[in-house]
Amino acid sequence: MSKPKLAGLSFDGWVSKYTPMINHLSPGAAFDGLMFETHGNELALVLSYANGAMGRSYRRKVWTLVEDDEGQAVIVEGYHLVNRLGYFLTVKAAAAGVQYNVTLD
C-alpha cells in the first residue's frame, strides 16, 4: 500500500474548496455555525456520514477538528476519536489517497 499524498490547506482555502455545511441542528455552533459537536444529535448525523449510511462517498465528507501533537488545533479529513474537538461536514468529498492538514491561522 502506498503512502497517502500530503496536502496542507489554510482554513479559508479549505472552505473555498470543500464548502463546509452549516450546522442546522445548532444555529449558534462554533466556526460561524459550521462545527458539529461530539455528542447527541450532531454526532449521530456525523456518524451517519462516517458510516456511509447515505452512500460511500459521504464518508469522505467528514472532517475532524483535532488537537495535534504540538497542541495546535487543525482540521483533518475523516472521522477521528482521538483528540477530537468537533466535526465538519462538507459538500465536496475529500480526494481519496490524500492526507489533509488544514491550519486555522
The predicted-structure confidence for 83-94, as pLDDT tens digits, reads as follows: 999 999 999 999
Query: Given CA atoms 7, 21, 90, 59 in this order, what sign does their dihedral have?
Result: positive
- pLDDT tens digits for range 43-81: 999 999 999 887 888 999 999 999 988 889 999 999 999
At 48, list the grid cell. Answer: 451517519
Q: DSSP letter at 20?
A: B
SS3 label, residue 6: strand
pLDDT of residue 67: 93
Q: How many CB atoms lie within 10 A of CB 23?
A: 23
Q: Which amino acid is at 43?
A: L
Q: What is the pTM of this model?
A: 0.91
